[in-house]
Amino acid sequence: MVIVTGANGFIGSAMVWQLNSAGVVNIVCVDSINLKKRNQLLANKKYSHFWEKNELIEKLNSGNYDNKVEWIIHMGACSSTTEMDVEFLKENNTDYTRKLFQWCTKHEIPFLYASSAAVYGNGENGFDDHTPAEAFEPLNPYGRSKSEFDVWALLQKKTPPQWYGVRFFNVYGPNEYFKESMSSVVYKAFHEINKTKKLKLFKSHRSDYEDGKQKRDFVYVKDCTNWMMEMKQKKIPSGIYNLGFGTARTWLDLAGNVFQNMNREMDINWIEMPENIRKQYQYFTEAKMTKMWNAKMSKPKWSLEDGIKDYLQNYLLKNEAIL
């Protein structure tokens, strides 16, 4: 069986969809948000069990699943970049992941976990997954919690037979409907334009970037889940990998595509960036994808234009259809 944590969230539920698409249905879905609180994302999926997050470690340590687990895909975490409770982040993002890594090591089970591009900080040391993890300075406690686990994992002499830490860049796509403030700008823009016919974007506070010309590496969730399946299937070398498109695009590129797919004229309302986020705001992110391509992984299938079109036409404009 395959265990997917964070299965009742954005990327986790999309990964269950990807597994189902490949004919995998013996899946244990794990999440801190149970099905009584939210059942929409998993309602159309095939899986064998749902466990709450606090049950997983206990069940694994019981010995009842020692020869039954084929793979653990750990997407569950506190994903809020504004969370300031360091102990909470340590417990949920660092210590919990360590326990799963150690269990997979002991039982020789492949392990894949979600890291984050937040580990790269302001980008002054680049966005290269070859660079030692301790070389980066994350801008917030969330990024530090992810970085601390990356550093620890890379130091381990004993590891799972295959293990992968995936650093997600700006992921967008169906099933992100419950992320609230952490949802993608594509999702937020769609709803804002629907409501006001305009879109608010932050002005630039750096002279080397015009308003709206700040750049991000936007990657469609369907590419991310496809790559995660491919890593296991191809048995690429263990380690940490960037998951991004590999080409940075501007906020204006994103906005223009959303307006176009909604058949509206682009109308941007430029607003001041709040003082409290100016120091941690990233003006440029771009995943260095050489390591992925050297491992003979497939290239992304969804450009920003194609991804936004698919997302809006087949999901958002259809009452937030579930993947």
- In this predicted structure, what is the pLDDT of residue 70? 97
**pLDDT score of 138:** 86
Q: Alpha-carbon distance 214 to 232, whole Å?
A: 35
Of 47, 96, 113, 142, catalytic: 142
| Token pair of 245 as six digits | 């498109």
Q: Which of 179, 188, 213, 232 is catalytic?
A: 179
Tell me which amino acid residue 115 is.
S
- Contact indicator for 126, 217 with CB cutoff of 8 Å: no
To which residue do tokens 């296991």 refer?
232
- What does the pLDDT read at residue 253? 98
Q: How many C-beta atoms lie closer than 10 Å to residue 54's C-beta?
A: 10
User: In this predicted structure, what is the pLDDT of residue 104?
Assistant: 98
- Output the pLDDT for position 282: 83
Tokens of 307: 């991804």
Read off the pTM: 0.95
For 217-236, the pLDDT digits (tens) are: 999 999 999 999 999 999 99
Catalogue all structural domains in the chain, each as residue range(s) with its CATH number.
Answer: 2-173+217-247+285-302 (3.40.50.720)
pLDDT tens-digit readout, 35-70: 999 999 999 999 999 999 999 999 999 999 999 999
> Which stretches in the chain have pLDDT values below 50?
none
Q: Is 146 one of the annotated active-site residues of the chain? A: no
C-alpha span between 34 and 18 (Å, rounded): 21
User: Is residue 203 annotated as part of the catalytic site, yes or no?
Assistant: no
